[in-house]
Amino acid sequence: MLSGKRVLITGGAGFIGTHLSRVLLEENEVVIFDTLRRNALQHSGLDRHPRLTLVRGDVLDAAAVTRAISGCTHVVHLASIAGVDTVIQNPVPTMQVALLGTSHVLEAARACAGIERVIHFSTSEVFGRFAFNAREGDVTSLGAVGEARWTYAVSKLAAEHLAYTYFKQYGLPTLSVRPFNIFGPMQIGEGAVHHFILRALRGETLRVHNDGSQIRSWCYIDDVMQVLQLALTRPAAVGHSFNIGNPRSTVTIYNLAREIVRLAGSASPIEFVPWPHPDIELRVPNIDKARELLDFRPEVDLEDGLRRTIDWYRTQQQRGDGGGH
């Protein structure tokens, strides 16, 4: 466990950042730097925590990033434009935030005395449409030029290279993580689990793209918190990229929807809708590297994680708070 440190989390008001803040605030100070366009923090009860500083700002503002990082010892760079629909509609900001924003964070970290670790969040989409048992050293895919879907993966991959070169050239202690389909309570935005649970609890139709045969491995948020704490503290993590996921929890999107309907006790029908854009057909990680260097052992299987998540959203619904949209 990290202790007695000051951690900057860019994009920290989002789903992963809010969970990470809760864990780190037990023994550290946390600075959240976020535009608050997506705000999971409001569902956490952390906004008045005495060791939490919330700074509203944009990673495209280099001066604001420099001010936010002052006095920090660790950086977790989560800020990005996220969600397939949002990315497709906003390809330019998507690339600007990933490329320029990451550059601003890395440069500010290099200029800040006492930085012990910088974690850059990349994406599993760097492996392209088909990734089975994908290892960190496997060939990554850039996607077709002109297809907006791939702007997210391309810019994230470039930012991953940039983080690594800051380690090699300047000695900045960086590493990158590639999350594979994270889910859990307080998720906001366009994620399939979030979308399916909300609609199942309301008795509404669950909409599945095309025939729902796309395959994903799902990783519960508590397991992600485990590995991030290890990445923040273990010297062996520096200079590497890590796949973060749970290959045991692999299922088609259609069967994920069916499972959520069952676990929620819902009567929601499932509807297949055309999806005209490129999609990820197969995404299953190999996590041997994280297991060997970080002792990462995902513990929460899919059914258990879905039950916990459904219970949280049901409680929010009963309180009159949908838990995000």
The yes-or-no verdict on residue 7 having pLDDT over 80 is yes
Residue 262, in any domain of the structure: no
Residue 324, in any domain of the structure: no
Question: Which of the four pLDDT bands, split at 50, 70 and 90, describes residue 325?
Answer: very low
Question: Which of the four pLDDT bands, split at 50, 70 and 90, describes residue 184?
Answer: very high
Q: What is the 3-state secondary structure (H, E, C) of 173-207?
A: CEEEEEECCEECCCCCCCCHHHHHHHHHHHCCCEE
Of the candidates 226, 227, 244, 224, which has an alpha carbon nearest to the alpha carbon of residue 177?
244
Residue 271, in any domain of the structure: no
Residue 237, in any domain of the structure: yes
Residue 288, in any domain of the structure: yes
Q: Decide if 170 is catalytic.
A: no
Q: What is the number of structural domains in the chain?
A: 1
The identity of residue 51, as a single letter, is: R
Residue range(s) defining the domain that contains residue 246: 6-250+276-318
Residue 13, in any domain of the structure: yes
Q: Which of 152, 164, 220, 313 is catalytic?
A: 152
The tens digit of pLDDT for each residue in 252-262 reads 999 999 999 99
Residue 186, in any domain of the structure: yes
The tens digit of pLDDT for each residue in 277-314 reads 778 889 999 999 999 999 999 999 999 999 999 999 99
Residue 270, in any domain of the structure: no
The yes-or-no verdict on residue 225 having pLDDT over 90 is yes
The yes-or-no verdict on residue 324 having pLDDT over 70 is no
- CATH number for 85: 3.40.50.720
